[in-house]
Amino acid sequence: MTSLAPQRMLLCADDYALNAGVSEGIVALARAQRLSATSAMVLSPRWQSDAAALRELRGHLDVGVHLDWTSDFAQHAGHGLSLASLMWRSVCGALPAATVRTVLERQLDAFEQHWHAVPDHVDGHQHVQQFDGLREVLTEVLQRRYGGLAQRPWLRISRVAQSDLKSRVITWMGASALTQWAQQQNWPVASPLLGAYGFDADAAAYGRRMQAWLQQLASCAEAAQPPIIMCHPALRAHVDDAIGNARVQEYSYLMSAEFPLHCQRLGVQLCRGSQPPHNVTAPLG
């Protein structure tokens, strides 16, 4: 009997360099081969030192830019807005292209300065990469900086394959337009996206959510691109982190013996978006 091919999946830990607990948790999970990617908040004062902690994983983990307009770091950098304000300005066409371009270039420069390489991928904190007014400038910048490379950074498209209101809003904020651009430019992407929830689960409940997302992968996978699940783990909670406790619960499940067993039972293998399909699998340890 011929066995079915494994279901490929990208599992990306967001918010690297947000704080020590987040960075340490992501590094620990990556060492245990429980992740295939992480996205860095390069406006964080921790990015320079925390980039060094990832170097032993170079070539085993995709490391990319988590473009940021809404965190405290973005506020301190002078361009930050609340998510509601950014969404409103995006919908109203009130984001100046010159300012957006400067902010994008600054964040990509900061990534490359301390990682000493171009990003493996690009996505956005709170999915800002696909917002109107940001998306158009981002695609221009990506094409100019990386369009001529043989290995271009893959782009997360937050087309959330879930039916709740939060997921529908995320998708509505620009997933279709970004997908159309990527198809026209033959740009590598990861989509659709799973992993959205209200950060209200303990480790057991998060595990049940993850199993549901893993089961859903087969129905949303497309031949040319792997689906992606986002996660937000941390080794310990930070006092100023509103979702710190949820991060710890995610870490607990992802580092548990149950997670690889659930993946194996459902025929899921982690892959890296920066590698071709014939050479993408990474074992879950």
pLDDT in tens, 18-62: 999 999 999 999 999 999 999 999 999 999 999 999 999 999 999
Distance (Å, whole) CA 7 – CA 77: 41
- Say which range, 1-10, 159-168, 171-180, 209-218, has the weakest mean pLDDT: 1-10
**The predicted structure's pLDDT at residue 225:** 75
Q: Above 50 in pLDDT, residue 1?
A: no
Query: Which sign, positive or negative, has the C-alpha torsion 218, 220, 221, 222?
Result: positive
Q: Above 70 in pLDDT, residue 118?
A: yes
Domain boundaries 7-279, CATH class = alpha beta
Q: Above 70 in pLDDT, residue 278?
A: no
**The predicted structure's pLDDT at residue 3:** 45
Quote the distance between the C-alpha of residue 73 and its chain's center.
18
* Residue that the structure tokens 């071709």 belong to: 276
Q: Which of 54, 189, 203 is nearest to 123 (CA)?
A: 189
Q: Which of 22, 52, 49 is nearest to 38 (CA)?
A: 22
Distance (Å, whole) CA 152 – CA 208: 35
- Is residue 145 within 8 A of residue 108, CB to CB? The reply is yes
- What digits encode the pLDDT tens for the residues 74-114? 999 999 999 999 999 999 999 999 999 999 999 999 999 99
- Is residue 155 within 8 A of residue 66, CB to CB? The reply is no
- What digits encode the pLDDT tens for the residues 228-258? 999 999 999 999 999 999 999 999 999 999 9
- What digits encode the pLDDT tens for the residues 169-199? 999 899 999 999 999 999 999 999 999 999 9
